[in-house]
Structure 1
Amino acid sequence: MSASDDPVEYACGRSFGIKQCGMRGHHTSFKVGAFFAAQAPEETMRVLNIAIAAALIGGASYAYAQQMSSEEFVTMAASSDMFEVQSGQLAAKNSKQPSVQQFAEMMVADHTKASQELKVAAGEAKVTVPTQMIDKHAAQLQKLQNAQGETFDKAYLEAQLVAHQEALKLMQSYAQSGDSEPLKAHATKASPIVQRHLEHAQKLVGQ
């Protein structure tokens, strides 16, 4: 099974070879489910899926910090940047909302720069940077390519929430406990930028 086949296994770190998942994330997801139980079914499922993904990623942060190698970090960081650049290019072209187009253009610029900086840090760490996205990101991009109109904007923003939650946990965890100083420095620098992106995406979803 690939990372894209099971989002729970992916969030728990199976794609990194990690065999454990933090339990705190699961407890959080149950509380979130109870909170949304009284909401409209379609909206409940949309928001609940995002919330559960965030909770699972949060639960996996301990495993990230303890077991992620420099090669695994570079693979995930590079894939994240590629997804952000390519999905941003798609959103800048296909979105009908100026605010979403502006956000997408910022994603392209910021993650292009982040990708270049990652290559420098990876070179210092003697780690090869992959040129293709992981299966999960490729599947997400394919889903966006198939979306149209208002459906596209909704799908893009939801993908941005989850992607930046994942990226933030990745950067914060590796910055704290990574095994390569150049890559730790990159993760430390990238974390506040990813945090700002996440907050911006949250505002757009709330509009």
Structure 2
Amino acid sequence: MKKLSSMMLLALAALSFQSCGGGASNDSKANADSANYTKDTSTNATATGGIAVVNDDAEFAVAAANGGMAEVELSKLAETKATNAKVKEFAAMMTKDHGGANAELMELAKTKNISLPTTVGADEQKAMGDLQAKAGTEFDKDYVDLMVNEHKKAVDLFEKATTDAKDADIKSFAIKTLPVLKNHLQAIETIQKGM
């Protein structure tokens, strides 16, 4: 009986710990931010290898990677499900352009010891699930609306990094990528107006 009580208390403690957020998150973006924060502490640099950028630059890299991956995944879906030819064409451009930018950012992150998300974050996973359930013109409209919103966020994120990033390589990546994002935003807004 005493052994059973001990096991019940242990199980209860484990459940309490997990429900308080002590367990690992399923959000790859949050996990990457957390890993970078840990690397950023001077007391942990020996164990983690440290990080070559300030935490704000690492957060930019994580957000940029998460957004880029989400746009690629959403666009791959649109390449197969969209009914509007312009939407399909835009989706193909997203897959190509963001795929290239994502690869470049991954290489940059390696040189700076920045942990990036391996999958899209929880919010983006939900958006993909919602979009997956749509079909026809409803899918096209929702994809286009999502791309407009995501590109507005991306342009804001990259504009901020072009002025605020402390690391020269991170700033250079933001400066190089920003005009492409602005072109994407203009293109998708044109498609949106024509729908």
Scaled by the length of structure 2, the TM-score of the pair is 0.70
Task: Establish whether residue 148 from structure 1 lines up as the match of residue 135 from structure 2.
Answer: yes
Letter in 2 for 1:172: E
Q: Following the alignment from structure 1 to structure 2, what is the Cα–Cα distance between the partners of residues 70 and 142? A: 30
Q: Deviations over 1:113-154 (max 9, x none)?
A: 000110122123221222121222122111111111111001
User: Aligned ranges for residues 101-112 of structure 1 at < 5 Å?
Assistant: 101-112=88-99
In percent, how many aligned pairs have the same letter?
27
Asked which structure has the greater CA Rg, the reply is 2
Which of 83, 104, 107 lines up with 1:96 in the alignment?
83
How many pairs were matched up?
143
Cα RMSD for the two superposed structures = 1.7
Task: Establish whether residue 165 from structure 1 lines up as the match of residue 152 from structure 2.
Answer: yes
**2:173 maps to what in 1?**
186
Q: Which shifted more, 150-159 or 114-123?
A: 114-123
Scaled by the length of structure 1, the TM-score of the pair is 0.66
Q: Specify the SS of the correspondent of 1:69.
A: helix
Q: Report if aligned partners of 1:88, 1:107 keep a CA contact under 8 Å in 2.
A: yes
Letter in 2 for 1:198: L
User: Aligned ranges for residues 121-136 of structure 1 at < 5 Å?
Assistant: 121-136=108-123
Q: Report if aligned partners of 1:122, 1:182 keep a CA contact under 8 Å in 2.
A: no
Letter in 2 for 1:129: L
**1:115 maps to what in 2?**
102
**1:199 maps to what in 2?**
186
Unaligned ranges ≥5, structure 2:
1-32, 34-53
Which of 63, 71, 76 lines up with 2:63 in the alignment?
76
- Relative to structure 1, is the Cα distance of residues 68 and 165 closer, same or farther in structure 2, using a 3 angstrom cutoff? farther
Runs of 4+ in 1 over 3 A off after TM superposition: none
Q: Report if aligned partners of 1:83, 1:137 keep a CA contact under 8 Å in 2.
A: yes
Q: Give the superposition deviation at 1:68.
A: 6.7
Q: Give the superposition deviation at 1:99.
A: 0.7
